[in-house]
Structure 1
Amino acid sequence: MLTPMVAGGVAFPGLFLLSKNTLQRLPQLRWEEADAVIVSARLVSSVQAIMASTAGYIVSTSCKHIIDDQHWLSSTYTQFAVPYFIYDIYAMFLCHWHKHQVKGHGGDDAGAGLPGSTWAVARSYLQKEFLMVLHHAAMVLVCFPLSVVWRQGKGDFFLGCLLMAEVSTPFVCLGKILIQYKQQHTLLHKVNGALMLLSFLCCRVLLFPYLYWEYGRHAGLPLLAVPRALPAHVNLGAALLLAPQLYWFFLICRGACRLFRPRGSPPPSPCPAQD
């Protein structure tokens, strides 16, 4: 178990540092540190998402029996990805810190790196990214032990499908980079927004009804009867995983309403007002 975790602990921070240093030192680029940190963090998230979704596809398509079939990638990649969630909490904080400095909220004390300003930025980071930090912590403290110990080698198909939820992440990351560089009105941003919306809907929101449907097909049950046939803790876990996805999907839909609304037109009633 330790070997994949050590490999992940080296790979994700190492890729971040390599990307950041490359963006800062290449003569053709020479980006400021803030830009290099933010783009590098998005790059690592995208690489992890591609690896996770690829592993998930291999596992889910290899397991013909959705309960008993096993694939070595399911446990190996889960162990490899644990350090990513720990690293990403710190990477998100670095991104928040640099955005804070660029906006000039820190003043002289923040520039000097004094503890008071650090705690102020940390508090604002936790307030803004509380749900994401909670999600990452739950992946390490709850989902990882459950997937490695509690499953006892059962249900690799379902774990593979859950890994494929990361398909939407590269589109999310690219969208954030385009917004960072004020490219909201480009064709690339609009195409990426549509792909992000579609992939998030299919791979994160509709994923859970699909998993219930697959179990019902295996057990010979109609979809609506599956929740009653499963233990309460399984339904509770699925609900806790689905809840933040629904919230983030709402935010994506709100952004899509603003993105595709004609310029100068009043917002339609289904879309919340712009913050």
Structure 2
Amino acid sequence: MAKKEVTVEQKLRALYDLQLIDSRVDEIRNVRGELPLEVEDLEDEVAGLNKRLEKLNTDLETIDEGIKTKKNLIEEAKSLIKKYGEQQKNVRNNREYNSLSKEMEFQELEIQLSEKHIKEFKVQIVQKNEIIDQTKERLTERNKHLTHKKGELDAILAETEKEEQALIAKSEDFQNNIDERLVAAYKRIRNNVKNGLAVVPIERGASGGSFFTIPPQVQMEIASRKKIITDEHSGRILVDQALAQEEKEKMETMFSKLS
């Protein structure tokens, strides 16, 4: 069976219908605006703050272990000093006595050094706790902000997601019924022009959204719907006002059923 020939007018109507559907999706996404990105950024920031808190708490545990180690060293040094002191009572000569005295002096230095390190560790603990408090405060504020923004986004999604998905499905259906080369051209133009408008009607003698006047002869050609004509300034595909109005009314009826 021979494939039914599609007229230029049918192609123009299908392209404009596709444009109306895609523009409707754009409107829905514009309502969401920057919210999804804001939520994503806040989630990243909260994750980063949580990670920072984990590291700070790990640092505190490491410092605590360091203090315990130094305290053990002090206790060991004290035991050795006591031990060497007892041994000095039973030495046989000055050499042994002096050797034990040096060991005791060394252990005294070990105690002093360990006490110095413990003081430094305690200063670090104070500093770390200050940073932890600041980070917790920031985290609480960011979590609160995130909850608020998520609530906003969820509310918008609840209102629009169903319609958006239905429109995307419709867009795909319409594309399947249009020549692949036309769809490719439509997408290319849509990506290169402001507001994603690839197919526009003539408004007050100019291309929709443009200030460039279209010559009367070209306007007549567009109105005849015998060939696909593009605006020489923007590259957009042009349709006449009557066709655009008819398709807009038809698509508005479809949109009202989807929303």
TM (norm. structure 2) is 0.23
- Decide which structure has the larger Cα Rg and report it: 2
1 or 2, which has the higher strand percentage?
2
Q: Which has the higher contact order (CA 8 A, sep 6+)?
A: 2
TM (norm. structure 1) is 0.22
